[in-house]
Structure 1
Amino acid sequence: VAKDSGRTSVVSASTAVDVAGGAAVAGGGSDEEAGSDVEEAESSVDDRHLSCLADGLPLSPLPPPYEPDPSLPHAPVRRGNRLNRRDKRLAVRNALRYFPAELHSLLAGEFAAELTKYGHIYMYRFKPRFPIRAYPVQLYPGKSLAGRVIMLMICNNLDPAVAQFPEELVTYGGNGQVFSNWAQFWVAMRYLAELTEQSTLTLHSGHPMGLFPSGPQSPRMIVTNGMMVPNYSTAAGYERLFALGVTQYGQMTAGSFCYIGPQGIVHGTTLTLLNAGRRMLSTTGGGQAANSDSSLLAGRVFVSSGLGGMSGAQAKAAAICGCVGVIAEVSEEALAKRHRQGWLDERSDSLDDLIERIKRHRAAGKGVSIGYRGNVVDVWERLVEVHVTTGECLVDLGSDQTSCHNPFLGGYYPVGVEYEEARRMMDSQPDQFRLLVEASLRRQIEAINYLSEKCSVYFFDYGNAFLLQASRAGADVLAVKDVGVDDKDDEQLDESESSSSSRPPSFRYPSYVQDIMGDIFSLGFGPFRWVCASGLAADLKLTDRLASEVLDSLASEPSLPECIAQQYLDNRRWIIEADSHQLVVGSQARILYSDLSGRLALANAFNCAVSDGRLSGPVVLSRDHHDVSGTDSPFRETSNVYDGSAVCADMAVHNALGDACRGATWVALHNGGGTGWGQAVNGGFGLVLDGSQEAGEAAKRVLHWDVSNGIARRCWSGHPLARLAAGRAQAEWPDGQMQLTVPSVASDQLIDALFID
């Protein structure tokens, strides 16, 4: 890539460099070292070593061939893409575009072999040879702070202590790609090093399209992942297009470079479990507890599955909430990683031992997390067996966090098949594997249904498409027919029907958004987050203290509605205890559910602290895409929108566009995320606070839009809490600058009298 006197230059993506893959560096990258202070980081790598990121693809000399590291977890083989000969040739042709013609004969055979062996061309040869992690921002090369910050965020997503399959560039969720291949990583890093306040980098599903002239008020980077012509947004089509290297599934914060490790979901999971207790367990005398009583879930048992990058938060959240969390995980690597990192208190390898542990901890009434090495279906069926034989109910709450958005390529493992055998089978016998997955889903639902009916277990879908996939498998999970609903709505939906229908199916169990998080979103609260780019733990502790002061101030507001006051109290407790829970894995980051008033106040406090030197470096603001206005998905974020627009994606698209034109440092817009390819549209942003007045003003514009966009949509759909939040949002701007169209709600009596057969 080249920049020529302010004019756009078109040259090869493969500019030659003087170093081969970067110098090998000692230290860094282990779980224990993740999130260390700047002094330790500087002892293991310096800017001379990271300077190779500015040089682009290492071609002179070429790095030697590289075989995937057997000590690291790896993505499942993806040969189910069913490429024909023409497709395979096209995939190799596409991959070679990043390299000069004189290297094509050498690399073509290598890439063809990767495609045959792994089902995708990852370009392992070009994986950097130095440890990838979130180094202090000043160590990265570049002409702009924004470029260096984005480098930091990308490296955090690829840190082996953070990423699920680091060598396949997968951050979480089984297929949440940062890039499609390592050539894209190098080209993007080169562009970021060249980035200035007069240019913008555009990324098309991992591919760096180039640097384009813009201006200081423009985003420094615009990212899209998996955006499709709607008719072609199918799961089968995705596998082919990903193999061709022309699109990728960015999940949410994987492809937008805003992932902060499992901490990114643990706060939301904690709030979900806490509010599930308030809602269903009747231990608070009316459903609301004063200041998040720690005894709310004491002696209660929560059963779920998954200890991956996102699902791993369940174990930590259960312990924080004071309940007994039983989390099944089929991967020894994933379970051991969470246990080693301190996110999992205990582990068990037998069902008999597990049941005894549940009974013991249940009686003790203390919060603890137990990881079961095995299939969650076995756990649910053993709990049924215990009830049938003894009458004892050993579970109160249940959910599932397997990656059911991708059930047949490693997202869900069938009961009765060993983990490694299942990985082989999904590649060598995909049709048989699919049948086993579907049978396993039916068995899991059968056990959950029994415990729900006999033991009043409160089960909720965690937005991972579990109930959707179970319904496609023929499980008894669809809701009883409502009056006025066509017969067809109650029939089993196959994938094509549920994808093309404008009315998603209704299930017998709620989405956690419908029952719990939807009200929180409607109030404007969501997973706000920040990263201290200095890499200093001391900076993160200071931001925690500043956040606590902000929440104290907000909670003392006169005449504060009780529903909002409760959220402030919950979140104040979280931020006070966050450091003691050792949540940092990777970058020095924190998540805090916050509303519009909170986000504005936090941004101002952080920017002032950067400006006056109390913070040693800039702060990066972001959020999960799973937020007030970041995602449209009928099976999760908009599942409690009942005006018929749950399947419409205007909100998420407007969100990204609005953030871009209001001063965000970068924005992203994705297809899929959480619930699966074609099942959601979502977006996110990053905003760098450098202590300047301009950064503070941009933060106010971006954050106000980023929250109020979703509040307005939820208000228009008729949600009363969103209407309350909308009024508060309008009060943030003087002189009527924010004006909303609010609904005039028709009476049920009037509407019910119409269209009577």
Structure 2
Amino acid sequence: MLASSPSENPAPSGLRGHSADSTPRDPEQAASQPPVSPILARGSEPIAAARGATLRARNWRAEALLRMFENVLEVGERPQDLIVYASLGKAARNWDEACAIAQALLALEENETLVLQSGAAIGVLPMHADAPLVVSAVNNTVGRWATPERFYERAGNGQTIWGGLTAAAWQYIGRQGVLQGTYELLRVIARRHLGGERPEDLRGRWLLTAGLGGMGSAQPISAKMLGLSSITVEVDPARAGRAFAAGAIDLLTGDRDWAFAELRRAQEEDRVIAIGLVGNAADVFSSCLPRGLTPDVVSDQTAAHDPRYGYVPVGYTIDEWVAARESDPESIERAARASITWQVEAMLELQSRGSIVFENGNNLRVQAIEHLGEADAPRINAIPGFMEAYLRPLFARGIGPFRWVCLSGSEKDLRVIDELASRLFPDRPEVARWIELARAHVPPQGLPARSCWLGHGERSRIAGAVNALVADGTLSAPVLFTRDHLDSAGMTHPRIGSERMRDGSDGVTDWPLLDAMLLAAGGADLVAVHSGGGGYSGWMQSAGVSVVADGSAGAARRITRTLDSDTGLGVLRHATAGYPEAIETLAAAGPAGTTGAAKATETARLAHEPDPTERSTNRA
């Protein structure tokens, strides 16, 4: 980090470093008043994002990012450790750096850019009014360094973090962030395999899955919204208890006989029920086989991507596991992979008995193959990944997990935007249906927010309309728009978002890097580039974006440029790979499309059509 102490060679004008004590508070004031941001209390008290229309920062763009930083900790799993989700996903490197970041945001001007490196505030550079306020790169390492062992070493030395997909980019909104994705996934499965997606089509059907953490707890909610009952296994009693208290599950037990009996009772009474079962997923999944139980759908959303910190092996209590992973981490990793393999073998057997089985993006299959050897890879990969099997047609059209956050903290503001979204896309009635379901079933977490799968042109349309509502005072404060990194252009992971691409580009990371460049060029308020850590090391690259609708003309321009280029590149990516849905989207946009992105997509399509009269000889 740039030194905050005086230097013999002063920095160029406008360049400044940041550390936790860069802007010290008056000691008497600090003793008598709470900190401007709860982050500055260093985890000694509960963290909640600021609400209302009062600015603490020097502009709404910086204020919005500070509130999102606070919000991911408010809804996170272990905010005292800066852990947001998935065992290791952190919002900042440590508390010193968290404070430095908060202080930098409080002082940031609109013509400056704060630079973050793996969760640390490096410095502030003079820029211009349409430049990003924050650029962030997290744990990006060259190929031979991108190993779990190297990551654990560097993280242990305080040199890096895993930022998850949305933790270090301050875009996580709680379980709702993956709720609609899970709902859409189960909806496609129901339509394709279970006879339909209406509740009457799904009567008596059920889902067996695992994981009730920040993202996993979206599974039983999504299933119930659709009309599927569920049993969700969770090894950590405390985490299961939090999910129950939050309303993610209807019943919670540690008795599997009772859980299966309650499921049968609900089926007989034509009720949909969500049951949480405290136990080990490998053990419970395997126990279905001798019982003759064949769930209709089977998956898993534990943190199996990290065999050291994310998956408790069979035979360990939580306390034993926590102690052993520090004293003998290699042994814990071997035991975890053995248990994961046991679970995967059970899933394969259930698949052979008729269950619809898929991996939900947590490298479950990778860990089993690591344990068994590459010779077993074809057999293990008979379990498909969710994206390749079910959701890619949406991504090919640029449709993915968009979201908005009401910085006012006002549920009234959220209702206004929900109603706007419900009527803005009449050609996609599923949007209005989702908004209706979300308002009825999504438990509130943190700042009022909504996740909504929107596509190319749709995102900029609603964000632009919201910007106008901020400008005319209909909304009481600005609104931040963002998305999951797992999006049409934003992610490469050959076992999740880009598995089995038609053109073999599963592991090509050009797309998220191009995405980040376009987002920065378009003036997004925050642009982040992440790579995997822990068990995801070497497996992924992603780009994230946040843009603030503050009611200004500048915001209107930034919204259109960034959101249209983001989805436009996603359509281009899939058209280049040969997906018909993307090619149709290009054709619909046409050469006279309303955005630059639409024109770019038509240009790309024409570039792939051979000229019948001449061969190009000047392509570089």
TM-score (norm 1): 0.75
Q: CA deviation at 1:5?
A: 11
Secondary structure at 1:591 match in 2? strand
Counterpart of 2:357, as a letter, is F
Q: Distance in 2 between matches of 1:509 and 1:616?
A: 48
Q: Which residue of 2 aligns with 1:618?
A: 478
Secondary structure at 1:355 match in 2? helix
Q: CA deviation at 1:600?
A: 2.2
Q: Distance in 2 between matches of 1:584 and 1:11?
A: 34
Secondary structure at 1:715 match in 2? helix
Asked if 1:185 is matched to 2:98, the reply is: yes
1:711-754 deviation line (CA, Å, top 9, x unaligned): 101111111111112223446436984343238699xxxxxxxx
Q: CA deviation at 1:206?
A: 0.8
Q: CA deviation at 1:166?
A: 1.1
Q: Distance in 2 between matches of 1:744 and 1:257?
A: 38
Counterpart of 1:17, as a letter, is R
Counterparts in 2 of 1:351 and 1:734: CA distance versus 1, 3 Å:
closer
Say if 1:141 and 1:193, in contact at 8 Å, map to a contact too. Answer: yes
Q: Which residue of 2 aligns with 1:120?
A: none
Q: Which residue of 2 aligns with 1:733?
A: 594
Q: CA deviation at 1:20?
A: 8.7
Q: Unmatched 5+ residue regions in structure 1?
A: 25-47, 58-125, 285-291, 388-392, 476-489, 494-503, 556-567, 747-757
Q: Which residue of 2 aligns with 1:412?
A: 311
Q: Which residue of 2 aligns with 1:691?
A: 551
Q: Which residue of 2 aligns with 1:152?
A: 67
Say if 1:137 and 1:152, in contact at 8 Å, map to a contact too. Answer: no
Counterpart of 1:513, as a letter, is M
1:211 equivalent among 114, 124, 134: 124
Asked if 1:270 is matched to 2:162, the reply is: no
Say if 2:17 and 2:124, in contact at 8 Å, map to a contact too. Answer: no
Counterparts in 2 of 1:451 and 1:22: CA distance versus 1, 3 Å:
farther
1:400 equivalent among 256, 277, 300: 300
Q: How does 1:426-441 map to 2 (within 5 A)?
A: 426-441=325-340
Q: Distance in 1 between matches of 2:201 and 2:215?
A: 24
Which has the higher mean CA deviation after the structures are superposed, 420-429 or 643-652? Answer: 420-429
Say if 1:22 and 1:128, in contact at 8 Å, map to a contact too. Answer: no
Say if 2:414 and 2:449, in contact at 8 Å, map to a contact too. Answer: yes
2:358 equivalent among 433, 452, 460: 460
Q: Distance in 2 between matches of 1:492 and 1:728?
A: 44
Q: Which residue of 2 aligns with 1:316?
A: 221
Say if 1:195 and 1:201, in contact at 8 Å, map to a contact too. Answer: yes
Counterpart of 1:364, as a letter, is E
Asked if 1:422 is matched to 2:311, the reply is: no
Q: Distance in 1 between matches of 2:537 and 2:122?
A: 23
Which has the higher mean CA deviation after the structures are superposed, 205-214 or 601-610? Answer: 601-610
Asked if 1:222 is matched to 2:222, the reply is: no
Counterparts in 2 of 1:224 and 1:442: CA distance versus 1, 3 Å:
same
Q: Which residue of 2 aligns with 1:469?
A: 367
Q: Which residue of 2 aligns with 1:102?
A: none
1:631-657 deviation line (CA, Å, top 9, x unaligned): 011101111412121101000001111
Counterpart of 1:195, as a letter, is L
1:543-601 deviation line (CA, Å, top 9, x unaligned): 1111101122xx1xxxxxxxxxxxx2333211022222143211111100111132122
Counterpart of 1:14, as a letter, is D
Q: Which residue of 1 aligns with 2:411?
A: 537
Q: Distance in 1 between matches of 2:157 and 2:135?
A: 22
1:573 equivalent among 415, 433, 443: 433
Say if 2:263 and 2:273, in contact at 8 Å, map to a contact too. Answer: no
Percent of matched pairs sharing the same residue: 29
Q: Which residue of 1 aligns with 2:14?
A: 7
Counterpart of 2:36, as a letter, is S
Q: Distance in 1 between matches of 2:358 and 2:147?
A: 26
Q: Unmatched 5+ residue regions in structure 2?
A: 611-620
Counterparts in 2 of 1:4 and 1:540: CA distance versus 1, 3 Å:
farther
Q: Which residue of 1 aligns with 2:56?
A: 141
Asked if 1:385 is matched to 2:385, the reply is: no
1:502-558 deviation line (CA, Å, top 9, x unaligned): xx9981111000111111111221000000111111101111111101122xx1xxx
RMSD: 2.5
Say if 1:596 and 1:729, in contact at 8 Å, map to a contact too. Answer: no
Q: Which residue of 2 aligns with 1:260?
A: 173
1:371-414 deviation line (CA, Å, top 9, x unaligned): 00111122212210111xxxxx44110011111221122x1111
Q: Distance in 2 between matches of 1:216 and 1:719?
A: 38
Secondary structure at 1:641 match in 2? coil
Counterpart of 1:464, as a letter, is N
Q: How does 1:333-352 map to 2 (within 5 A)?
A: 333-352=238-257
Q: Distance in 2 between matches of 1:7 and 1:449?
A: 60
Say if 1:138 and 1:148, in contact at 8 Å, map to a contact too. Answer: no
Say if 1:200 and 1:213, in contact at 8 Å, map to a contact too. Answer: yes
Q: How does 1:692-711 map to 2 (within 5 A)?
A: 692-711=552-571
Counterpart of 2:331, as a letter, is Q
1:138-190 deviation line (CA, Å, top 9, x unaligned): 4452212111111100001111xx11111110101110011111000111111
Secondary structure at 2:231 match in 1? strand
Q: Which residue of 1 aligns with 2:234?
A: 329
Counterparts in 2 of 1:9 and 1:666: CA distance versus 1, 3 Å:
closer
1:49 equivalent among 23, 34, 55: 34
Counterpart of 1:515, as a letter, is A
Secondary structure at 1:245 match in 2? coil
Say if 1:164 and 1:171, in contact at 8 Å, map to a contact too. Answer: yes
Q: Distance in 1 between matches of 2:304 and 2:262?
A: 28
1:515 equivalent among 374, 389, 392: 389
Q: Which residue of 2 aligns with 1:591?
A: 451
Asked if 1:491 is matched to 2:369, the reply is: no
Q: CA deviation at 1:298?
A: 2.5
Q: Distance in 1 between matches of 2:387 and 2:155?
A: 30
Counterparts in 2 of 1:597 and 1:308: CA distance versus 1, 3 Å:
same
Counterparts in 2 of 1:6 and 1:274: CA distance versus 1, 3 Å:
same
Counterparts in 2 of 1:211 and 1:136: CA distance versus 1, 3 Å:
same
Secondary structure at 2:530 match in 1? strand
Secondary structure at 1:223 match in 2? strand
Q: CA deviation at 1:229?
A: 1.9
Secondary structure at 1:219 match in 2? coil
Q: CA deviation at 1:348?
A: 1.7
Q: CA deviation at 1:700?
A: 1.1
Q: Distance in 1 between matches of 2:588 and 2:532?
A: 31
Matched residue pairs, number? 598
TM-score (norm 2): 0.91
Q: Distance in 2 between matches of 1:527 and 1:221?
A: 22
Q: Distance in 1 between matches of 2:13 and 2:411?
A: 40
Say if 1:252 and 1:674, in contact at 8 Å, map to a contact too. Answer: no
Secondary structure at 2:425 match in 1? helix
Q: Distance in 1 between matches of 2:153 and 2:323?
A: 20
Counterparts in 2 of 1:330 and 1:259: CA distance versus 1, 3 Å:
same
Q: CA deviation at 1:23?
A: 6.2
Counterparts in 2 of 1:365 and 1:627: CA distance versus 1, 3 Å:
farther
Counterpart of 1:318, as a letter, is A
Q: Which residue of 2 aligns with 1:296?
A: 201
Runs of 4+ in 1 over 6 A off after TM superposition: 2-5
Q: Which residue of 2 aligns with 1:501?
A: none
Say if 2:88 and 2:164, in contact at 8 Å, map to a contact too. Answer: yes
Say if 1:673 and 1:681, in contact at 8 Å, map to a contact too. Answer: no
Asked if 1:720 is matched to 2:580, the reply is: yes
Say if 1:528 and 1:591, in contact at 8 Å, map to a contact too. Answer: yes
Say if 1:321 and 1:367, in contact at 8 Å, map to a contact too. Answer: no
Counterpart of 2:161, as a letter, is Q
Asked if 1:649 is matched to 2:545, the reply is: no
Counterparts in 2 of 1:734 and 1:436: CA distance versus 1, 3 Å:
closer
Say if 1:200 and 1:221, in contact at 8 Å, map to a contact too. Answer: yes
Say if 2:18 and 2:100, in contact at 8 Å, map to a contact too. Answer: no
1:677-727 deviation line (CA, Å, top 9, x unaligned): 210100111100011222112111111111010110111111111111222
Q: CA deviation at 1:663?
A: 1.7
Q: Which residue of 2 aligns with 1:232?
A: 145
